[in-house]
């Protein structure tokens, strides 16, 4: 009986440790010209430099699913969207991400300065809708979410970078 129970648990453990799939959510998240449906148009403020990529991600607006592994969310049929673009050489970056419906969503953006597709707190920058003050754990989704209407909804996210032992916006930018 114990062996049978262990065999049943193994697939669950394996699925819980699947690595993020870099292209998951991109097709669903890509905005199309002249599209009028629900979307976030995110203005990215306070970049440290013009290196690497920007990765915008949208999650369900609950703490359990916020920042959850993309494979887990998609396999459960939950909302997950991703847009990834190189940091532009100049200007204020603006990224558009399509949404399945009007409503509230958790939103994060990563300034992946070393282009390794994962967050490194010593190198990369991070920001969230609502621009919460960051501590040592992920913010509550209530502080890191935005409400989208039936068409494009503009939001601004301020990037945070490591300064000493904390993550915060850069001064004077």
24-44 b/e (C-beta count within 10 Å ≥ 16 → b): bbeebbebeeeeeebbbebeb
Q: pTM value?
A: 0.84
What three-state secondary structure class fits 11? helix
Mean pLDDT by 10 residues, the chain (173 residues): 41 45 72 90 97 97 96 95 96 96 98 93 95 92 98 97 90 51
pLDDT for the residue numbered 166? 87
pLDDT for the residue numbered 32? 82
> First vs last Cα of the chain: how many Å apart?
62
């Amino acid at each position: 009986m114990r062996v049978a129970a262990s065999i049943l648990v193994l697939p669950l453990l394996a699925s819980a440790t699947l690595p993020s799939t870099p292209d998951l959510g991109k097709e669903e998240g890509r905005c199309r010209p002249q599209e009028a449906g629900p979307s976030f148009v995110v203005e990215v403020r306070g970049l440290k430099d013009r290196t690497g990529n920007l990765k915008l991600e949208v999650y369900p607006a609950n703490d359990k699913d916020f920042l959850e592994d993309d494979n887990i969310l998609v396999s459960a049929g939950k909302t997950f969207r991703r847009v990834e673009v190189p940091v532009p050489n100049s200007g204020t970056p603006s990224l558009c991400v399509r949404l399945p419906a009007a409503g509230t969503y958790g939103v994060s953006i990563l300034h992946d300065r070393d282009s390794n597709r994962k967050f490194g707190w010593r190198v990369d920058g991070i920001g969230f809708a609502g621009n919460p003050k960051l501590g040592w754990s992920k913010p509550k989704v209530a502080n890191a979410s935005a409400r989208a209407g039936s068409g494009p909804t503009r939001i601004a996210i301020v990037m945070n970078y490591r300064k000493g032992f904390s993550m915060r916006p850069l001064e004077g930018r």
